[in-house]
Amino acid sequence: MSAIQEMVRHLEKMGKISDEQFIVEMLKNREHLGSTGLGKGVAFPHGRSLAIKQLSVLFARSSGGIDFEALDGKPTKIFFLILAPSEEGADVYLALLSELISLIQKPSKLDKLMQVKDYPSLIDIFGGNED
């Protein structure tokens, strides 16, 4: 099972999306346009669709890393899957994507993301002090 399939399956089990296969194909098609693996071990697979009920963000980590065809050619260890309904929330969707990309530009925050053990520690990274 691919990383995308595994993340989408989790959202489907949580009732966040209505068509797992459609979302997987949408995300794979998006990746064919250009990898959302931006480097530094981080990828932001994302998309918008009518099959998505509400803005959802899934954080996933692979301790060994996955070949996600990142721009720097290195394995991807951190994934932020971002899905949004196509009919609303474009401003929130783009702002969220921008904020997450800004976050990984801070080396100490990126190091902390690599070490996240649970949901409270993830939330702490987002609410923590700026470096």
What the block records as the tokens of 109 is 């925050």
Residue 13 domain-assigned (yes or no): yes
Residue 128 domain-assigned (yes or no): no
pLDDT of residue 131: 46
What the block records as the tokens of 64 is 């060994």
- Locate all alpha helices (DSSP H) within 64-118, ordered by sequence: 90-104, 107-115
- Full residue range of the structural domain in which residue 76 is found: 3-122
Residue 85 domain-assigned (yes or no): yes
Quick check: is 32 catalytic? no
Mean pLDDT, residues 74-98: 85
pLDDT tens track for 39-61? 889 999 998 888 787 888 999 99
Q: Which amino acid would we find at residue 114? A: M
Contact 85, 18 (CB under 8 A): no
Residue 131 domain-assigned (yes or no): no
pLDDT tens track for 19-43? 889 999 999 999 999 889 988 899 9
Residue 38 domain-assigned (yes or no): yes
Question: Looking at residue 100, which CATH number applies to its domain?
Answer: 3.40.930.10
Residue 115 domain-assigned (yes or no): yes
At residue 1, does pLDDT exceed 80?
A: no
**What predicted TM-score, i.e. pTM, was given to this entire model?**
0.86
pLDDT of residue 45: 94
For the beta carbon of residue 90, count every other beta carbon within 10 angstroms: 12
Q: State the pLDDT confidence band at 107, using cuts at 50, 70 and 90.
A: confident
Residue 129 domain-assigned (yes or no): no
At residue 89, does pLDDT exceed 70?
A: no
Residue 102 domain-assigned (yes or no): yes
SS3 126: helix
pLDDT of residue 22: 93
Mean pLDDT, residues 75-80: 94
At residue 67, does pLDDT exceed 80?
A: yes
Catalytic residue among 40, 46, 48, 77: 46
Mean residue pLDDT across the chain: 87
* Domains held by the chain: number: 1
Distance between terminal CA atoms of the chain? 37
